[in-house]
Structure 1
Amino acid sequence: MTPRPAYALIATDLDGTLLRGDHTLSGRSRAALARAAAAGARHLVATGRPAPLVRPLLRELGSRGLAVCGQGAQLYDAGTDRLLWSVTLDRDLAETALEKIEAEVGEVYAAVDQDGAEGLTLIEPGYRMSHPSLPAVRVRRRAELWRRPISKVLLRHPTLSDDELTAAARTVVGSLATVTMSGPGTVELQPCGVTKATGLDRAARRLGVSPSRAVAFGDMPNDIPMFAWAARGVAMADAHPELKAVADEVTLSNEEDGVAVVLERLFPG
């Protein structure tokens, strides 16, 4: 009888983790994920990207499974091309949170991810996308950011570092929203209590998989809840120090196929 794999669920962040710097998936990583799938493990993407920006990648991967998107605010089914679940950030609360942050640190530049499988990323004047290749629509004034339901707000400050902006936002936002940092130049406000861990737990329940049989890979502080949820957390070599501090293991960087290196060990084939 073939022994069951040590881990039945593989949860991977995308940018800075599974994907290389040019947003592509290497042949080695594809092969490692295929080997894990052949052994019976499920692969779940858990990303800050909203569902519309994840869909093309899942098609490229040939994935027909679930994906946790928008920092846990969305559960997308690639097989049926629909959102199974989503939660929005109250726009009045978002505006209030922005006002409090700007009262603390001065002017910030904002963007939003609209809710829904076809939602757009809207950016106000002055905001620069951390990944310029990803599509976004520039609006003329901030009020236009709130014209449709949103899943999160993205923030940038002209002089403060990401760590400084995150710390300042957390001191004033309170229960209005969850503040997280998901990548260089990416500080975010999302619905209070929503994290990658809450999204993963919802997905895992649908799949009938326990957190005790999950391994997670990430590179930024927004992956900390995911590491706390999974049985094992693996940080990339160039991960944020806060994530490395709670990781069970540190692998090579995303450019060096760090995810594949670990999967090859866990699923030797």
Structure 2
Amino acid sequence: MAAPIAYAERAAYALIATDLDGTLLRGDDTVSDRSLTALARVSAAGARYLVVTGRPAPRVRPLLKFLGGVGLAVCGQGAQLYDVGVDRLLWSVTLDRELAETALGKIEAEVGTVYAAVDQDGVDGLTLIEPGYRMPRPTLPAVRVGRRDDLWCEPISKVLLRHPALSDDELASVARSVVGSLATVTMSGPGTVELQPSGITKATGLALAARHLGLRPEDTIAFGDMPNDIPMFDWAAHGVAMANAHPELKAVADEITLSNEDDGIAVVLERLLTEGRRPQRLGGRRPSVGAKIQ
């Protein structure tokens, strides 16, 4: 971990909320020394750092321990508020399994066969994958089941979908058009279209975590790379998209930084610490696509 900071700095934001995959994490699932140092600096300056990820708590536990091992994390696209230090879910919302099956049926009626996986609820929940489903990130553990019915054996937090031919954008668009209020449809990364409990987004979990910490939207800067981060950007005072971000997120970002491979989070945090103030908006809530706030 980074060495302690021996000089006083002032954090421009009291809450730093970051996505993991494609944002803080590099492609090999590691965090750079520069990013670790930047997070240590803002922590020393009085800010709180909060992971807000689509990964369920069991799939992110080792990384959270590496990042400090205490505090809160928003997991499962906002469906879980996880206390890292005591390894306990403070809050959890499950996806009704009958509704999930109905939603899957509606999607398949439009696009043909899709392949599904589920994240089970709880701090020890498994990721189950049906025949034909490929994990978008092979580094994450999963258990293959023999048939789709086996996916519903325990309470779940979300369903993950893949289609053999459609792109993620195409699959997500169809799913949103037919699922309605049965579930919330999100796209959180390459090969990752998801169904989660209706009304639950990253903003839901982030708002709950902030209340636990006594902080507000205006205290918060958020970093992300995919459309599932849009609600988090809408909630926070300042949203920063990575250079590698999906165009939908860049379109609503206040700022675009470097990629996750080029320490984009660290670049912004270092600048804010140096300036000691928040950036000015470009004539409204959001700048035009691709604009950067200097």
Q: TM-score, normalised to structure 1's length?
A: 0.98
Q: Of 160, 163, 184, which aligns to 1:154?
A: 160
Find the aligned partners of 1:3 and 1:12 in 2 and give their Cα distance: 21
CA apart distance, 1:63: 3.1
Q: Which residue of 1 aligns with 2:232?
A: 226
Q: Is residue 246 of structure 1 aligned with residue 252 of structure 2?
A: yes
Q: Which residue of 2 aligns with 1:144?
A: 150
- What do residues 211-265 of structure 1 show as CA deviations (whole Å, max 9, x unaligned)? 1010000000000000000000000001000000000000000000000000101
- The answer to whether the 8 Å contact 2:185/2:196 transfers is yes
Q: Of 231, 255, 264, which aligns to 2:270?
A: 264
- The answer to whether the 8 Å contact 2:9/2:273 transfers is no
Q: Is residue 86 of structure 1 aligned with residue 92 of structure 2?
A: yes
Corresponding letter in the other structure for 2:141: P
CA apart distance, 1:61: 1.5
Corresponding letter in the other structure for 2:197: P
Q: Of 10, 15, 20, which aligns to 1:14?
A: 20
Find the aligned partners of 2:180 and 2:203 in 1 and give their Cα distance: 20
Q: Which residue of 2 aligns with 1:63?
A: 69
The change in CA–CA distance for 1:62 and 1:162 in structure 2 (over 3 A counts) is same
Find the aligned partners of 2:83 and 2:273 in 1 and give their Cα distance: 25
Q: Which residue of 2 aligns with 1:214?
A: 220
Find the aligned partners of 1:67 and 1:61 in 2 and give their Cα distance: 11
Corresponding letter in the other structure for 1:152: K
Structure with the higher fraction of residues in helix conformation: 1
Corresponding letter in the other structure for 1:188: E
* Between 250-259 and 58-67, the greater mean CA deviation after superposition: 58-67
- The answer to whether the 8 Å contact 2:14/2:47 transfers is yes
Find the aligned partners of 1:59 and 1:242 in 2 and give their Cα distance: 32
Find the aligned partners of 2:265 and 2:192 in 1 and give their Cα distance: 22
Q: Of 110, 134, 139, which aligns to 1:128?
A: 134
Corresponding letter in the other structure for 1:24: T
Q: Of 68, 76, 80, which aligns to 1:74?
A: 80
Find the aligned partners of 1:199 and 1:120 in 2 and give their Cα distance: 21
Q: Is residue 54 of structure 1 aligned with residue 60 of structure 2?
A: yes
Q: Is residue 181 of structure 1 aligned with residue 187 of structure 2?
A: yes
CA apart distance, 1:118: 0.2
Find the aligned partners of 2:50 and 2:22 in 1 and give their Cα distance: 16
Q: Which residue of 2 aligns with 1:41?
A: 47
Find the aligned partners of 1:190 and 1:138 in 2 and give their Cα distance: 21
| Aligned residue pair count | 268
Structure 2: give runs of 5+ residues left out of the alignment.
1-7, 277-294
CA apart distance, 1:18: 0.2
Aligned-residue identity in percent: 79
3-state DSSP class of the match of 2:23?
helix
CA apart distance, 1:5: 2.6
CA apart distance, 1:3: 8.1
Find the aligned partners of 2:160 and 2:9 in 1 and give their Cα distance: 45
Q: Which residue of 1 aligns with 2:209?
A: 203
CA apart distance, 1:4: 5.3
Q: Which residue of 2 aligns with 1:95?
A: 101
Find the aligned partners of 1:199 and 1:44 in 2 and give their Cα distance: 11
CA apart distance, 1:39: 0.4
- The answer to whether the 8 Å contact 2:129/2:144 transfers is yes
Find the aligned partners of 1:255 and 1:91 in 2 and give their Cα distance: 37
Corresponding letter in the other structure for 2:266: A
- What do residues 77-120 of structure 1 show as CA deviations (whole Å, max 9, x unaligned)? 01111111100000000000000000011000000000000000
Q: TM-score, normalised to structure 2's length?
A: 0.90
Find the aligned partners of 2:68 and 2:77 in 1 and give their Cα distance: 22
CA apart distance, 1:267: 1.7
Find the aligned partners of 2:90 and 2:19 in 1 and give their Cα distance: 20
